[in-house]
Every structure is written in C-alpha cells, then in structure tokens.
Structure 1
C-alpha cells in the first residue's frame, strides 16, 4: 500500500486533465492504485441495468477515480492549493503541514 498525500474528506483542487481548476471534496481514496474520487469531478455516464431497486434502468452519471498526482490539497487556513510536509508531534504522531503558511492541516 502506498502512502497518499490526501485523505477522505479533504478539499482538493484538480491541477491537470479535463477538469483542471475545479475544487471538490475527496469522497474516497484508493491507496492500492493511488487514485481518488472527488465529488463533481471526472463525471462519467454508466448504463444501469434494470434491478428491483431501480426498475427503470437507464443511464446514470457518477464520479470516476482520477490519479492522486492530479490533485493538490487546499489548505483550510490559507485557502490555497499547496504541497504537504510531514511533521512529528511531541506525542510521536505524524501530521500534515501546509508548505505555504506552515499551519497544521490535521487538527483533531
């Protein structure tokens, strides 16, 4: 499993691809493939077969995963897309730090 710079619930900005410039929240991260699903980004259409829950069937739109290298974390304090540094706390826990303003991203 690879370590990723974004987690579920983070706000990210897309930096490359057809949806460049869009900002959204990470709905799901897939560390085994290094991909993330961002809401309202990389929308695709999927043909749905009729089922008991959806007797009509039809075509639905859903988000497809995109590579994690194509998104940049948006710092909650300075509200800019930034790279991430890692810092160890006094308790020995590893937290993410904004490279632009220097404030902690992981606040719990």
Structure 2
C-alpha cells in the first residue's frame, strides 16, 4: 500500500540528491514497482532531435523517477522525515480513513469518509 501521494513534501534518503526536500509531482506504478517523480530531484539532460513543425532540437533537463523507498514523508513542524500510518476514525455515524504521522500521532489528511450503515 502506498502511503505517499502527489503533492506530499518528501525528503530524499539516498543518492546524489540526498537530503533535498521537495514535493511529489507524479507516482508511477509499473510491473509491481512504484516510483515517484520529485520536483528538482534526479534531473538529467536529454538531447532531443528536432522534428519539423513539432519541436526544436537541443538539450533539455527532465526529472527522472526514483524508487519510492528512497524518499520519506517530511514533517514541516519537526523538520525531520517521519513514517506515515493509516488509521480509521469513527465519528458518530461516519467512518474516516486518515493518514497519520506515526511519531506525533497527528492527522495529516483524510483519505476517504463513509457513512456507517445501520443493521
């Protein structure tokens, strides 16, 4: 289960960009593996040939995906990487699935909310 999502602040744990804090731009699931594209991380230069009427040729910088295990959720308050957990909260007749900061127990955001059926 992926506990990170697009727009989350993350810190890079390994590689040439270790220690950089940024946001997730995209999550890629392919062949049972999960990779993330993080803003300003793993930037490579790509040489493009010109295509007549479509684009000019040249060198462009693009962000390549990195494995999700190489990033961790970054807590803005404590300025440290933290683990993210899932918790179900019952409020009256509503059940909510929320993401929580495992260290402090604070709620990060709601994943979904449903109305409990009465039997």
- Looking at structure 1, the residues matched to 106 and 22 of structure 2 have their Cα atoms a distance apart, in angstroms, of 21
Unaligned ranges ≥5, structure 2: 112-119
Residue of structure 1 in register with 2:80 after alignment: 80
The 8 Å contact of residues 47 and 60 in structure 1, kept in 2 or not, is answered as: yes
Residue of structure 2 in register with 1:8 after alignment: 6
Higher relative contact order (CA 8 A, sep 6+): 1
- Looking at structure 1, the residues matched to 55 and 106 of structure 2 have their Cα atoms a distance apart, in angstroms, of 47
Change (3 A) 1:49 1:93: farther
TM-score (norm 2): 0.78
TM-score (norm 1): 0.86
Change (3 A) 1:69 1:31: same
- Looking at structure 2, the residues matched to 92 and 79 of structure 1 have their Cα atoms a distance apart, in angstroms, of 31
